[in-house]
């Protein structure tokens, strides 16, 4: 099993993993006590996700959680796992209004929580914001693919990159986010072939959340991993009996990611063959 963390993890560790081919495990975390257990179990990277809206507060979507709440959770996780590389998630409404609003709120998150990076669910319109935040010295994780904060626009929690058109938009946006200065990418619920194209056409660390084996790191929502939620997404690994001690399950998840046992074929989303052939032809062109 993985050993407890003994040194501070940094963005450079993610960059080194991309170069070396190592795989980095990430889990969501929402409180001090769980963060302590995760650091002891050797979980190197943590995401304080706005999924807290659902799994902590019981809302139907991520849209209800506020910035002050997310800052408090992120600060608690920082105190519990001071050695992990930790990403704070910006909630819906905290950065969409204007560039000035986004810069102020992201800087507030960093200053008050002590997080190492900040995650934004991005579209084309966020390129200027990412550039401004990068100029300010903030490590931005650009979240593409399925964006839960845009669930109303997307028409539900459906995996993205189903068609060649969708896939090319994801690849192109990933490239533009890199040029804008994003420090890393997070791809949620996309076929592995789409993630592979993003990995091959950018130089950033890519974290997958249901995005297949080609990503440099992998993240899942911890209550899903532990079997505590009613509907577990298809890309979440089965670690056995949910009554098993949770620190063992955290360690087992890290082991499977680092040894490339997760994700496997059964965790992937797949494009229809005709769309995949069209996507491959466009990439070559």
Mean pLDDT check: name the lowest of 71-85, 98-112, 234-248. Answer: 234-248
Of the candidates 166, 188, 252, 275, the residue annotated as catalytic is 188
pLDDT score for 149: 78
pLDDT score for 23: 97
pLDDT score for 105: 97
Domains of the chain, each with CATH number or no CATH: 11-284 (3.20.20.60)
Is 188 considered catalytic here? yes
Mean pLDDT check: name the lowest of 9-23, 141-155, 218-232. Answer: 141-155
- Whether the pLDDT of residue 106 is over 70: the answer is yes
- Whether the pLDDT of residue 153 is over 60: the answer is no
Pairing assessment for the beta strands 85-89 and 45-48 based on DSSP bridges: parallel
Angle between helices 99-113 and 67-80 (to 10 degrees): 30
- What burial class does residue 111 get, using C-beta atoms within 10 Å of its C-beta: 0-12 exposed, 13-18 middle, 19+ buried? exposed
- What burial class does residue 282 get, using C-beta atoms within 10 Å of its C-beta: 0-12 exposed, 13-18 middle, 19+ buried? middle
* Secondary structure letter of residue 206 according to DSSP: E
How confident is residue 155, by pLDDT bands cut at 50, 70 and 90?
low
Mean pLDDT of 72-83: 98
How confident is residue 160, by pLDDT bands cut at 50, 70 and 90?
confident
Residue in 241, 246, 254, 223 with CA at minimum distance from that of residue 84: 254
Mean pLDDT check: name the lowest of 27-41, 82-96, 116-130, 153-167. Answer: 153-167
Looking at per-residue confidence, does 90 or 152 come out higher?
90
Specify the pTM. 0.94
Percentage of residues of the chain with pLDDT beyond 70: 97
């Amino acid at each position: 099993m993985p050993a407890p963390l003994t040194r501070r993890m940094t963005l450079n560790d993610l960059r080194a993993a991309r170069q070396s081919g190592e795989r980095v495990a990430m889990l969501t975390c929402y409180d001090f006590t769980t963060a302590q257990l995760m650091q002891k179990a050797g979980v190197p990277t943590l995401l304080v996700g706005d999924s807290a809206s659902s799994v902590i507060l019981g809302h139907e979507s991520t849209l209800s959680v506020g910035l002050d709440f997310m800052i408090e959770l992120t600060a608690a996780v920082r105190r519990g796992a001071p050695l992990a590389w930790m990403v704070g998630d910006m909630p819906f409404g905290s950065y969409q209004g204007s560039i000035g609003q986004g810069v102020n709120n992201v800087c507030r998150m960093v200053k008050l929580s002590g997080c190492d990076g900040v995650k934004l669910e991005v579209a084309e319109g966020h390129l200027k914001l990412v550039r401004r935040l990068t100029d300010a010295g903030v490590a931005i994780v650009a979240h593409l693919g399925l964006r839960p904060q845009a669930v109303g626009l997307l028409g539900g929690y459906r995996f993205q990159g189903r068609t060649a058109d969708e896939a090319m938009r994801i690849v192109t946006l990933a490239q533009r986010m890199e040029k804008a200065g994003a420090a890393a990418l997070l791809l949620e619920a996309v076929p592995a072939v789409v993630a592979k194209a993003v990995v091959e056409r950018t130089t950033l660390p890519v974290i997958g959340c249901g995005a297949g084996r080609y990503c440099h790191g992998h993240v899942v929502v911890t209550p899903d991993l532990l079997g505590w939620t009613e509907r577990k997404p298809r890309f979440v690994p089965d670690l056995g009996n949910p009554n098993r001690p949770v620190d063992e399950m955290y360690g087992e998840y890290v082991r499977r990611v680092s040894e490339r046992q997760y994700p496997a074929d059964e965790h992937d989303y797949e494009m229809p063959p005709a769309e995949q052939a069209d996507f491959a032809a466009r990439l070559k062109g």
